[in-house]
Structure 1
Amino acid sequence: MGNTNIPIAAQRGPIPDPIHAGLAAGWRVTDCARLDDDLVLEADVVIVGSGAGGGVTAEILANAGLRVLIVEEGALKSSSDFKMREADAYPALYQESAARKTRDKGINILQGRTVGGGTTVNWTSSFRTPPGTLAYWNRHYGLADYTPDAMAPWFAMMERRLDIAEWAPAPNENNDVLRRGAARLGIATGIIHRNVSGCWNLGYCGMGCPTNAKQSMLVTTIPAALELGATLLTRARAERLAINGDQVARLDCVALDAAGLAPTGRRITLRARHFVLAGGAINTPALLLRSVAPDPHGLLGKRTFLHPTLVSAAVFAQRVEAYAGAPQSVYSDHFLHTGAIDGPVGYKLEAPPLHPVLMATTMAGFGAQHARLMARFPHAQALLALLRDGFHPDAPGGSVALSGDGAAVLDYPIGDYLWDGARRALLSMAEIQFAAGAGTVMPVHEAAGEYTSWRQARAAIAALPFKLLATRVVSAHVMGGCAMAADERRGVTAADGSYRGLRNVSVHDGSLFPTSIGANPQLSVYGVCARLASGLALRLAKA
């Protein structure tokens, strides 16, 4: 299926750039890489991070009449900068050039690092928090107010705000493989909801949307907050909260150079009535650890969860062109709901887009074998399985700690419980790909070969050794580390997002989640943080 939309889109004329227009109109934005002197600022609320949680919070608090200041470690980029080239996008828009890894290098983690955070570079998949996940939080973490009925208005509010709706056009061939293969096996699939408006169906969402169709924080909540008078600091790294008793007196930041890597020597001091931490489930716990935040039960940074993700590649006779069209539009939860939520690990199936660098760095093998695969790139297809981690005692998740220089490091051991899920996932994906007509299936594992029949693949996958660095594990979803719970012995944050022991600090990002979600988490973050920010606005108004 070719990218037939490109010629049509090219006829639509220049794309208005709301970021350039806003800057010209006088938005309060400071690129801290250009500071000549140290900077001291005050606000009602300082928000650390501009992604899903920080962006939603910024708009709601600014609408409440509060002076909001947003701190972002990455740069402010816009549609004018997004050229649909991996070489440009990964260093500019991702943590560690899209190569952030766990301490043992066994898992590659894709995380945004730019204004809008992960929402600027994700693939737009939007799911409400599954009811089973909310029920588990209720039972095990006392989160009685987090029920499907209680959360539904907040999800609906954010779906309206961000144009989240079921994707209406036909799926591209990459996603249709999942639909066709699953249908032939009697496996149910669904259509993914996407946060897009006027989408051109280009397929390059992971490199920043060049048409402003993706309703990320970059083009929605952050501009709205800036229009209301909020201040945005970019290339500013939040280093430490200065704690005085049971409250934070200030946030100390360092300015980064134009590459966003090295401190320039300029320091930024931010004072506020309240501080909202929204840097994501690795960076938020790390900031609190550097600040020696209260943690009487040793929970900070613990139970950090990924959706450990396995990949199965296939080659078809027809051209798949997995880089063209909506990146993800079909999913299956068939293997997510095969038993009790805390039984054998379940997994969600989706079809990721394939671009040359992403595919080349993810696939196993090297030399001539790898070159042969890349030569078949237009015919390549991929499925991924997101393991739902955090619901079983044999899967305690990972932990965020600090390296010698204070940087965040994630440890994420994978035991037999998750490896069993990994094997089952690779089997499921291979069977679906063959059912859809694949000529060759290649589980992404260093010891795997190229299999030409389901019978051959089934026997080979059953015999593979499952261990880190042999089995390719990736993730784009990080959750937990500042878990909410009714009982302080179970979570460092309360159900309203407030950080226990610091009366003017809240956490508004995926680090709040006590487990993984079991689905792409952006809508969960939007809905939860809309609720928390609305409550915080009321509390601050009364203070």
Structure 2
Amino acid sequence: MSKEHIIPDPIAAGLARGWKVIDAASLNEDRALRADVVIVGSGAGGGISAEILARSGLSVILVEEGALKSSRDFNMREAEAYPALYQESAARKSADKGIDILQGRTVGGSTTVNWTSSFRTPPDTLEWWRRQYALPGATVEASAPWFEMAERRLKVGDWQAAPNENNDILRRGARQLGIPTGFIRRNVNACWNLGYCGMGCPTNAKQSMLVTTIPAALDHGATLVTRARAERLAIRKRQVEELVCHALGADGLAPTGRVLRLRARHYVVAGGAINSPALLLRSGAPDPSGMLGRRTFLHPTLISAAFFPQRVDAWAGAPQTVYSDHFLHTGPVDGPMGYKLEAPPLHPLLLATKMSGFGQDHAATMRDFPHMHAMLALLRDGFHPESQGGHVRLRADGSPELDYPLNGYLWDGARRALLSMAEIQFAAGAREVQVGHEMAPRYASWQAARKAIPDLPQRIHLTRVVSAHVMGGCAMSGDERLGVTDAEGRYRGLGNLSVHDGSLFPTSVGANPQLSIYGLTTRLASTLAAALTGRPAEPLA
């Protein structure tokens, strides 16, 4: 790659220009700060909100629990990336340890470590929200201008390179069976096609909040506070008076004893769909609907591995470029649980901790790593009476955990998904398939897999379930009985608090959620900026 294709590090350049960045780990005394708006969280919702509000002339403080990292820190090493960039070192789990949950914990949040997959909110999801949650603006037509603005800002577009072998196996196998597939749009600029997006982009090609909206907000005078844990909102007479934050040490974990008190006219909670409800619960926020932290949704995700005669090298090349929604649309949205198929990148550490088996069986899997293909089925949760998701609750120390029961309705979807993935992999030429289940051997033929998979007992700790998508817990609704927030993201019961992240979604999305958050937050932040300034918001650049 020639030097003209290397995008300069915007973090280093901005710090040299004099950005206002406070690393709470370095504080030797308590601090008090004041602004027009305080934003908690710097991911998809917080980053978009920060740019729009700062461009509108409002003073903004952006608070992040993780550290400020940049391309100079992203060396494509898993052992360093996961502790530095993910919640709980990429080992966050549901309360019963049945689901592994991947979420970012760094400036830029999950946008810094995601795989760049960019889907607009599916039309049937929007229609469900419109009808069931009294959200008249949840239509394709009303959402389109906001999606377009976010897509221009973040360079979301069609991926021009051919899919790597890992993704092309999904495409070829599905084609053999007459199953339609599509290509995934990505938010990248001058991408090097490395395949290590989950460890932070070392070339600044990924158009995450880290290199787009946050630098823009800082250039417009915003202040970024890092390694500061938002502990509680001080509430009095239906208003937030201040945000109390605990400074964290250099490890980003243990409090140093220093306290930051942040005061503002308005507060935006954008910590993600586990941390946002948790902050509000710790703060004793009013909850007139009784829904705070409830109906929190994942895309519970099943895994199927296949072994091919040829090398797959699933770590190399753009991580996700092919998908199929065929099994999302086999019936009504509130019928049997549908699922989206994608092909994830594989890296040794993440694979070793997510695949089933142990001892000699696990060692054999790792020896076949270069020849391994992986497929994911993302189950669409939240549209059926037996599909209530989970709820965020607080541990004794105030930290959050997600209780997410898995019931028969979901296990029925899991069983069908494992069958679909195995059939596609064999159709693509796999010599063996091993689905993510502790009791599943390697199957040598589709006939053997088709016979055995339906009899696998589906339950936690046997079936491997993961998720990188957390949604809900502060659901928006026009009906105050069904939602914690209203259609503009305003928190019911508090006059100066909004929520701007994926916790707003009343159900799961049915697609990778980053673009849904971008589009929705672009609208909400623009409306909020206009309300606070009395003039139309400055658009995203």
Within 5 Å, give how 1:162-173 maps onto structure 2.
Answer: 162-173=154-165
Q: CA deviation at 1:297?
A: 2.6
Within 5 Å, give how 1:105-504 maps onto structure 2.
Answer: 105-504=97-496
User: Whole-Å Cα distance in 2 between the matches of residues 344 and 115 of structure 1?
Assistant: 38
User: Whole-Å Cα distance in 2 between the matches of residues 189 and 283 of structure 1?
Assistant: 35
Matched to 2:73, the amino acid is D
Q: CA deviation at 1:395?
A: 1.1
Indicate the residue corresponding to 1:6 in structure 2: none
User: What's the TM-score, normalizing by structure 1?
Assistant: 0.98
When residues 453 and 240 of structure 1 are mapped into structure 2, their CA distance, relative to the original with a 3 A threshold, is same
Indicate the residue corresponding to 2:14 in structure 1: 22
> After superposition, what is the alpha-carbon deviation per residue over 1:201-259, rounded to whole angstroms, capped at 9, x for unaligned?
00000000000000000000000000000000000000000001110000000000111
User: Whole-Å Cα distance in 1 between the matches of residues 459 and 467 of structure 2?
Assistant: 16
Secondary structure in 2 matching 1:249: strand
User: Whole-Å Cα distance in 1 between the matches of residues 136 and 374 of structure 2?
Assistant: 39
> After superposition, what is the alpha-carbon deviation per residue over 1:104-125, rounded to whole angstroms, capped at 9, x for unaligned?
0000000000000000000000
Secondary structure in 2 matching 1:89: helix
When residues 13 and 307 of structure 1 are mapped into structure 2, their CA distance, relative to the original with a 3 A threshold, is closer
User: Whole-Å Cα distance in 2 between the matches of residues 146 and 249 of structure 1?
Assistant: 32
User: Whole-Å Cα distance in 1 between the matches of residues 449 and 4 of structure 2?
Assistant: 47
User: Whole-Å Cα distance in 2 between the matches of residues 11 and 461 of structure 1?
Assistant: 51
> After superposition, what is the alpha-carbon deviation per residue over 1:289-318, rounded to whole angstroms, capped at 9, x for unaligned?
000000023110000000000000011010
CA contact (8 A) 2:5 2:190 kept: no
When residues 179 and 220 of structure 1 are mapped into structure 2, their CA distance, relative to the original with a 3 A threshold, is same
* Alignment equivalent of 1:535, drawn from 523, 527, 533: 527
Q: What RMSD in Å do the two structures reach over aligned CA positions?
A: 1.0
Instruction: Tell me the number of residue pairs that the alignment of Structure 1 and Structure 2 aligns.
Output: 535
Indicate the residue corresponding to 1:525 in structure 2: 517
Q: CA deviation at 1:542?
A: 3.1
* Alignment equivalent of 2:80, drawn from 88, 92, 96: 88
Matched to 1:57, the amino acid is S
Could you list the runs of 5+ residues in structure 2 that have no partner in the other structure? 536-541
Matched to 2:326, the amino acid is H
User: Whole-Å Cα distance in 2 between the matches of residues 370 and 326 of structure 1?
Assistant: 26
CA contact (8 A) 2:393 2:401 kept: yes
CA contact (8 A) 2:337 2:410 kept: yes
> After superposition, what is the alpha-carbon deviation per residue over 1:31-59, rounded to whole angstroms, capped at 9, x for unaligned?
10000110100000000000000000000
User: Whole-Å Cα distance in 2 between the matches of residues 193 and 22 of structure 1?
Assistant: 29
User: Whole-Å Cα distance in 2 between the matches of residues 102 and 444 of structure 1?
Assistant: 18
Q: CA deviation at 1:14?
A: 6.3
Indicate the residue corresponding to 2:538 in structure 1: none
> After superposition, what is the alpha-carbon deviation per residue over 1:424-483, rounded to whole angstroms, capped at 9, x for unaligned?
000000000000000110001001000010000111101100000100000000000000
CA contact (8 A) 2:484 2:492 kept: yes
CA contact (8 A) 2:7 2:205 kept: no
User: Whole-Å Cα distance in 2 between the matches of residues 207 and 58 of structure 1?
Assistant: 24
Matched to 1:485, the amino acid is S
User: Whole-Å Cα distance in 2 between the matches of residues 79 and 191 of structure 1?
Assistant: 27
CA contact (8 A) 2:47 2:213 kept: yes
User: Whole-Å Cα distance in 1 between the matches of residues 160 and 424 of structure 2?
Assistant: 23
CA contact (8 A) 2:288 2:493 kept: no
CA contact (8 A) 2:6 2:203 kept: no
Q: CA deviation at 1:530?
A: 0.2
Matched to 2:301, the amino acid is T
- Identical aligned pairs, as a percentage? 71
User: Whole-Å Cα distance in 2 between the matches of residues 439 and 339 of structure 1?
Assistant: 32
User: Whole-Å Cα distance in 2 between the matches of residues 467 and 182 of structure 1?
Assistant: 28
> After superposition, what is the alpha-carbon deviation per residue over 1:334-378, rounded to whole angstroms, capped at 9, x for unaligned?
000000000000000000000000111111001111111101111
Q: CA deviation at 1:17?
A: 1.3
User: Whole-Å Cα distance in 1 between the matches of residues 406 and 159 of structure 2?
Assistant: 34
Q: CA deviation at 1:10?
A: 7.1
Secondary structure in 2 matching 1:335: helix
Indicate the residue corresponding to 1:5 in structure 2: none
Deviation beyond 3 Å, 4+ runs, structure 1: 10-15
User: Whole-Å Cα distance in 2 between the matches of residues 10 and 75 of structure 1?
Assistant: 30
